[in-house]
Structure formats: C-alpha cells, structure tokens
Chains A and B, each alone.
Chain A
C-alpha cells in the first residue's frame, strides 16, 4: 500500500517558538493532503486541506495564521505551528491518497 511519512515523530518546543512538521507521500503523488489533530483519548479533527500549488482550506475554528500550511510539491506538505502555546500540544496526523486515505505515523508536539 501507499506510504505516508511524517517528520519529526515527536518534538518539544518552548512557548512562543514555531515548529514545522513535514508530511511526505513516499510512493505516490498527492495534489491534496489533509492535516488532523488529535487530543489524548479523543477523536481526530480535520484541521485543513492542503492543496498543491494553492492556498490551504481551513476548517471552521482553525486559525490559518497560526497553523501555516504549505504544499510546495506533489509529495510534500508542511504544517507550521507559529507562536506555539501549551494548548497547541497535541498529536498531529496527515493523510493523503485517492482510493482511500493513507495516514502518516503522526507527530507528537509538546509545548512547554
């Protein structure tokens, strides 16, 4: 099956700093990728749709200036959490695919 990778798998950053998370489709091209957020013991919530070569589409309630998404190529989307705060600590998961969505391994972000 198709493989989606994420980097880093976990990151700790200080409050006020920015952190970038990469999502790559390793063996297929993806014009669209999706970013989800998951709090402990909760479900996945879609944050935004990343579109190659154009602006991302954000779900209601997600701050686009805080969660910057760039989809610069057909195999790479990045999510940058700007001016991170402890409440941004979460598990971030990306997905890509056509027939079905393949999920990356996730990135655990801890903001201290």
Chain B
C-alpha cells in the first residue's frame, strides 16, 4: 500500500523567511504533483514533476523530485502572507495521470 507523508504538518513562518516542505512516499513512482488548497476551496495545481531530478519553479515556490530517495520538496523563498494555505503532494502510483494518493498535507501560515 502506497503511503505518502508530509512534514511538517503545520508550519508557521514569518514573511521574508525561507522554508522547505518534505514529501516522502513508500513505493516507486516517477510522477508527483503539488497542489495548493485555500480554506473551503478545492485544489489548485502548482507543479507536475515527471522524472527523477525534475525541478520546477513558479514565483516564490520551487519543487523538486528525487525518485531514488522517494522524496519531493517544496521550497518557499521569502514567504509572503498570500502563500498561507494548505499544500498537498500527491503521488501517481501507476504513472497514468489518474489515480492519486495524497500526502497528509502541510498547513502553512505566513505571519506579517
């Protein structure tokens, strides 16, 4: 059974600081996604990582994938309040862009 764990589960950080969210998964997979969820809303796609060593950046967020270590990271640079949300990673076990197993989620709170 595929298990996907994120840490930390909750992160409070000040504006301007840097931090990394980690996503570990238990079974080999070459496809991983990162999503953002605001309270009461559905998921917003952030990154699609399709191979070992993949790195993608958008604004203050950068995601990477190490399939050998079964680890993905979401790095936040110079956080701003607007980044406050819950972040989920999701693993595509079969590599078919279909059935996803979600991580536990990381609730990020950026304080002024």
Partners in one complex: yes
CB-CB under 8 A from B101, the residues of chain A are: 46
Specify the main secondary structure of chain B where it touches its partner: strand
Would you call B105 and A106 a contact (CB within 8 A)? Answer: no
Tell me if B98 counts as interface (CB < 8 A to partner A). yes
A105 and B44 CA atoms in complex are apart in Å by 10
Q: Which of B33, B43, B90 has the most CB of A within 10 A?
A: B43
Would you call A93 and B43 a contact (CB within 8 A)? Answer: yes
Would you call B97 and A43 a contact (CB within 8 A)? Answer: no
Contacts known (A43-B88, A100-B48); A49 close to B43, Cβ less than 8 A: no
CB-CB under 8 A from A102, the residues of chain B are: 45
Would you call A34 and B98 a contact (CB within 8 A)? Answer: yes
| Interface residue range, chain B | 20 to 34
Q: How many residues of A are in contact with the other chain, CB < 8 A?
A: 23
Residue in B33, B41, B105 whose beta carbon sits within 8 Å of that of A105 in the complex: B41
CB-CB under 8 A from B60, the residues of chain A are: none
* B4 nearest CB neighbor, chain A only: A43
Tell me if A67 counts as interface (CB < 8 A to partner B). no
A49 and B69 CA atoms in complex are apart in Å by 29
A101 and B44 CA atoms in complex are apart in Å by 10
CB-CB under 8 A from A97, the residues of chain B are: 97
Residue in B33, B45, B99 whose beta carbon sits within 8 Å of that of A46 in the complex: B99
* A97 nearest CB neighbor, chain B only: B97
Contact with A along B36-74 (1 / 0, CB 8 A): 000011110100100000000000000000000000000
Closest 5 pairs between A and B when the two form their complex, measured CB to CB: A106-B42, A103-B43, A44-B102, A43-B102, A105-B42
